[in-house]
Structure 1
Amino acid sequence: MANINTGELLNFQDYSPEHNERSARIDVEAVHTNQYNNSMSNSSYTYEEPKIVEEPQSAPQTNHNFWTLEYYQKYFDVHTSEVVERIISSVLPQKVSRNYFDERIKGKPDLYGPIWISVTLIFTIAVSGNIANYLQSINKAVIWRYNYHLVSYAATAIVCYVWLVPLALWAALKWTTVPDGQDEMETQTPSTPTMISLFCLYGYSLSIYIPVAILWTIPISWLQWLLVLMAALVSGAVLIFWLLPALKKSKYFLILTSAIIGCHFLLAAGFMLYFFHVPDSQP
């Protein structure tokens, strides 16, 4: 180990003021230079706007009671173009795609169009029935009077048909459809149509009876029966065309198909026989 002179270590050493000031200034400048260089090397020279963190807002409460008016507001939120498109497709189904019911009506059913079609059909049948009765009594020695009860009769028949028949069809599809768990797990949607979608479908299917009711005023028996067959087949075919995927999954496919067409034929025949039919033999 090297010999160290302890005397030199204990003695005070003299440094000039210039030396002390210069060394202190060099040390301070070096510290600031290093800090500045480090800060500049770490900066990326890019300006980032501060991100505003939005707090998740809770979804509005849309679960209303079944008996309140707010529950039915979504079924009247429909554009005029959609109503016209559904009326045309109920008479000419080839104008739309084969999956039109699943793509448009099943996902967004409405009650605006069916209600207006039903109300229009009620007054059309009542007015046309009175006109047909007037034309039949022209050559008779009787005083013709307007029958206001035809409005209530037509309203009872149409309202019962539009609400009870779809309800029975919904129950039949629900209890006779063969369950297919794999399809429901993939699509996350029920295979059977909903009750509201069936109400919507049956309401639009009655649109063809409005012009037919006007033509029933012609007092020709064979023409009236021809219009009955045409209206029943067209409206029934549209229902089967739209409901065919759901009907195929039912165990009673032929029975349900025949029931749909049969109910439409009974409705058309009942309208014609009660409101417009000309008796073959006069008393």
Structure 2
Amino acid sequence: MTNVNTGELLNFQDYSPEHNDRSARIDVEAVHSNPYNNTMSTTSYNYEEPKMTQEPEAVPQSNHNFWTIEYYQKYFDVQTSEVVERIISSVLPQKVSRNYFDERIKGKPDMYGPIWISVTLIFTIAVSGNIADYLQNANKPIPWRYDFHLVSYAATAIMSYVWIVPLALWAALKWTTVSDGQDEIETQTSRTPSMISLFCLYGYSLSIYIPVAILWTIQISWLQWLFVLMAAFVSGAVLIFWLLPALKNTKYFIILAGSILAFHFLLAAGFMLYFFHAPSKPEIIPIITTPKV
């Protein structure tokens, strides 16, 4: 421990600037140039009463029930130009891009176009079928009558096809999609089209049958079958073209693609045979019998 001289401590010390080299000086300019002091000096301390600001009202989320009409409003919110574009693309797929389904339809399917196409096709087949029946019986002595039951028959066939076949295809795609190591739920959701999008596709694919139903009134058998093949091939090829990315991820690509074409051919053949085709009846040769003597 060091010894301290108490005498030096009790004597007065000289702390003048000349005596002490380490003088403690206050930099007045630094004090005036301090930004914090300027801020404090220029701050206004006038009290202002806070204003009440109204918070924006929260927009209620549209969480409607499945059985309400409001739930289906989003499927009818479509522009006329979009409906026309989808009808043209269902007949001429080269007019749109290869990923047209994923880009435009998968994210925003609609029911407006498919419903009107189905209803138009029902009445077109019913009216054209009666015209074909009139042409088949024009030269017969039996009076011809309009068959109103063709409307119900056509409606049953078209509505059953538009709802049952897409539902079966959706189930087949869902259970045959091959996963690539990612989460199974996310993989199926991203690769498998939804049911409503498949309903939309099948509804638009029937648009080609509307002009073909008018041409089926021509009573030439080979020409009618040519229209059957053309309509089935075009509508089925468009569906495969649209669903090609999803079909490539399935284990049964050939079977599903062949089933799409086969069901379209059966639909077209059923329309033609039941509503427009006149069955060929064998010519009845009268047998003349001579009385025995």
Partner of 1:241 in structure 2?
A: 241
Structure 1 segment 164-203 matched on structure 2, within 5 A: 164-182=164-182, 189-203=189-203
Letter in 2 for 1:131: I
Partner of 2:60 in structure 1?
A: 60
* Cα distance per residue 1:159-203 (max 9 Å; x no partner): 000000000000000011112344989999521000000000000
Gaps of at least 5 residues in structure 2 are 1-10, 13-33, 44-51, 284-293
- Distance, in Å, in 2 between the alignment partners of 1:236 and 1:157 is 17
Give the TM-score normalised by the residue count of structure 2: 0.77
Judging changes above 3 Å, is the alpha-carbon distance between structure 1 residues 265 and 54 closer, same or farther for their aligned structure 2 residues?
farther
Give the TM-score normalised by the residue count of structure 1: 0.79
1:184–1:191: 8 Å Cα contact kept in structure 2?
A: no
Partner of 1:275 in structure 2?
A: 275
Give how far 1:216 is off: 0.2
1:184–1:190: 8 Å Cα contact kept in structure 2?
A: no
Whether 1:225 and 2:264 are equivalent positions in the alignment is no
Judging changes above 3 Å, is the alpha-carbon distance between structure 1 residues 188 and 282 closer, same or farther for their aligned structure 2 residues?
closer
Letter in 2 for 1:175: W
Segments ≥4 residues shifted beyond 6 Å: 40-43, 183-188
Q: Quick check: which one's helix share is greater?
A: 1
Judging changes above 3 Å, is the alpha-carbon distance between structure 1 residues 111 and 186 closer, same or farther for their aligned structure 2 residues?
closer
Percent of aligned pairs sharing the same letter: 80
2:177–2:188: 8 Å Cα contact kept in structure 1?
A: no
Judging changes above 3 Å, is the alpha-carbon distance between structure 1 residues 59 and 225 closer, same or farther for their aligned structure 2 residues?
same
1:109–1:196: 8 Å Cα contact kept in structure 2?
A: yes
Judging changes above 3 Å, is the alpha-carbon distance between structure 1 residues 61 and 161 closer, same or farther for their aligned structure 2 residues?
same
Aligned residue pairs: how many? 243
Letter in 1 for 2:260: I
Letter in 2 for 1:150: L
Gaps of at least 5 residues in structure 1 are 3-33, 44-51
| RMSD, matched Cα | 2.6
* Cα distance per residue 1:186-236 (max 9 Å; x no partner): 999521000000000000000000000000000000000000000000000
- Distance, in Å, in 2 between the alignment partners of 1:131 and 1:186 is 52
Judging changes above 3 Å, is the alpha-carbon distance between structure 1 residues 55 and 181 closer, same or farther for their aligned structure 2 residues?
farther
Judging changes above 3 Å, is the alpha-carbon distance between structure 1 residues 123 and 243 closer, same or farther for their aligned structure 2 residues?
same
Partner of 1:108 in structure 2?
A: 108
Partner of 1:206 in structure 2?
A: 206
Letter in 2 for 1:156: T
Partner of 1:125 in structure 2?
A: 125
1:220–1:278: 8 Å Cα contact kept in structure 2?
A: no
